[in-house]
Amino acid sequence: MQKLTDSTTLDKQDNPAEPAFPKTLDIATVSVYGLAILSSGIFLFLPLVNLLHPSPWQRSIGMLHGMGAMLATIVTAYAGHLAFPLLRGSAKVLPQMRTLAFWSAIVTSLAIATGNLGYMRYRADIAYDGARAWLKLNSPLTQYIFMEYHEFTVLFTLPLAIGCTYVLWAYGDRILEKAYRPVLAATSIAMMGMMFFAMGGFATGLAIAKVHAL
Partner 1 sequence: MTQTSNTKLPIYSKVWNGLKKFPGLLSQGSATAPKTNGRAAAAFLSGGVGAMTMMIVHHICDTNADFEKWIKFTFGAWIPGAINPDPMWGNIGSYAGKETTMLLGWLVSWAILHVVLKDKEVRPRTIFLWMLGLYTVAASMAYHPLYPYMPLI
d(CA 97, CA 91): 10
Does residue 155 interact with partner 1 by CB under 8 A? Answer: yes
How many CB atoms neighbour CB 128 within 10 A?
A: 9
Phi, psi of 19 (to 5 degrees): -60, 140
Is 125 a residue that touches partner 1 (CB under 8 A)?
A: yes
Contacts of 42 (CB under 8 A, 6+ apart): none
CB of 76 to partner 1, least distance (A): 14
Report how far residue 34's alpha carbon sits from residue 49's, in angstroms, rounded to the nearest whole number.
Answer: 23
What does each C-alpha distance from 90 to 136, 161, 177, 182 come to in angstroms?
49, 20, 11, 15
Closest among 212, 88, 76, 55 to 153, alpha carbons compared = 76
Question: Could you give the angle at the alpha carbon of 73 between the alpha carbons of 70 and 76, nearest 5°?
Answer: 145
| Shortest distance, position 13 Cβ to partner 1, whole Å | 28
Binding status of residue 43 toward partner 1 by CB under 8 A: no
By CB under 8 A, residue 136 contacts partner 1: yes
Q: Which of 69/160 has CB closer to partner 1?
A: 160
Question: With respect to partner 1, which residue has the nearer C-beta, 44 or 155?
Answer: 155
Q: Which stretch binds partner 1 (CB under 8 A): 1-9, 18-26, 68-76, 143-151?
A: 143-151
115 contacts 66 by C-beta, under 8 angstroms: no
Which of residues 58, 102, 142, 201 is near partner 1 by CB under 8 A? 102
Binding residue (CB under 8 A) for partner 1 from 83, 121, 135, 142: 121
Could you tell me how many residues of this chain bind partner 1 (CB under 8 A)?
A: 55
**Shortest Å, Cβ 20 to partner 1:** 23
* 148 makes contact with partner 1 (CB under 8 A): yes
Conformational region of residue 129, where left means phi above 0, alpha means psi within -120 to 50, and beta covers everything else? left
Within 175-204, the residues that bind partner 1 by CB under 8 A are: 175, 180, 182-183, 185-187, 189-190, 193, 197
Please check whether residue 103 is in contact with residue 80, taking contact to mean a CB–CB distance below 8 angstroms.
no
Using rule CB under 8 A, residue 156 touches partner 1: yes
Summarize as ranges the residues that interact with partner 1 (CB under 8 A): 94-96, 98-100, 102, 116-117, 119-125, 127-128, 130, 136, 140, 144-145, 148-149, 151-153, 155-156, 159-160, 162-163, 165-175, 180, 182-183, 185-187, 189-190, 193, 197
